Chain A
Amino acid sequence: SAVISQKPSRDICQRGTSLTIQCQVDSQVTMMFWYRQQPGQSLTLIATANQGSEATYESGFVIDKFPISRPNLTFSTLTVSNMSPEDSSIYLCSVGEENEQFFGPGTRLTVL
């Protein structure tokens, strides 16, 4: 199993600003995933982050809006840039490659 922590757990931000979310895993992992979950909705994959290479983004998500860093095998950051109220959501970090995937507690973001 993997234990994942995220910081911050929640934040309220003004439109036009940026927020960087940190994800720390207690073991080395090859791939880390960033998801977004709007209230009452499903999880949508934003991007996959591999150590030492650029993140791979899903359709509808771009690097300029959601830059990701992956400096080592236990850590990643996701930045939500130039925020608008539509970015209000829960952002979840996840690891796991085979049968089971583990999720962090999430970062609840509210953009005013």
Chain B
Amino acid sequence: GQSLEQPSEVTAVEGAIVQINCTYQTSGFYGLSWYQQHDGGAPTFLSYNALDGLEETGRFSSFLSRSDSYGYLLLQELQMKDSASYFCAVRDQGSSGSARQLTFGSGTQLTVLP
């Protein structure tokens, strides 16, 4: 089966840098994604890593090491609006056979303090 582990909570101050780690166990791994979800909102896509290395998109970067089954999301120059839940998700074969589907981690609640 699949399992993902990420910290439940992270707190940081405005302007700081925070890293949210994710380790996973899965079969038929295709890639690691990150999603942001504000309270009461729908998850929104942040990044996707299929290959090892760092992907940078503005203030957010995501890293993947396939050999270590590990990735992280790096948020720089934190802003108050970054306070949200962040989910890592693996795209894998899943139990539905041919469909490539997302399996989500338990989520990390990020609180940005002034």
Contact = CB atoms under 8 A, between A and B. Distances in A.
A31 B99 contact: yes
Interface stretch (A70-78, A81-89, A96-104): A96-104
Contacts, number: 52
A44 B87 CA distance: 12
Given A42-B106, A59-B95, A105 B42 contact: yes
B103 A101 contact: no
Contacts of A99: 31, 33, 48, 50
Contacts of A102: 45
B105 interface: yes
A104 B41 CA distance: 9
Nearest to B44: A103
B53 interface: no
A56 B106 contact: no
B106 A58 contact: no
B107 interface: yes
Interface in B67-114: 87, 94-97, 99-107
A78 to B, nearest CB: 15
Given A42-B107, A43-B104, A101-B102, A106 B42 contact: yes
Contacts of A59: 95
Given A42-B106, A45-B102, A56 B97 contact: yes
A56 B102 CA distance: 14
Contacts of B103: 45
A101 B96 CA distance: 17
Contacts of A66: none
A42 B87 contact: yes
Contact of B106 (A41, A57, A92, A105): A41
Contacts of B100: 97-98
13 contacts: A31-B99, A33-B102, A41-B106, A42-B105, A42-B106, A43-B87, A43-B104, A48-B96, A59-B95, A92-B42, A99-B33, A100-B48, A105-B42
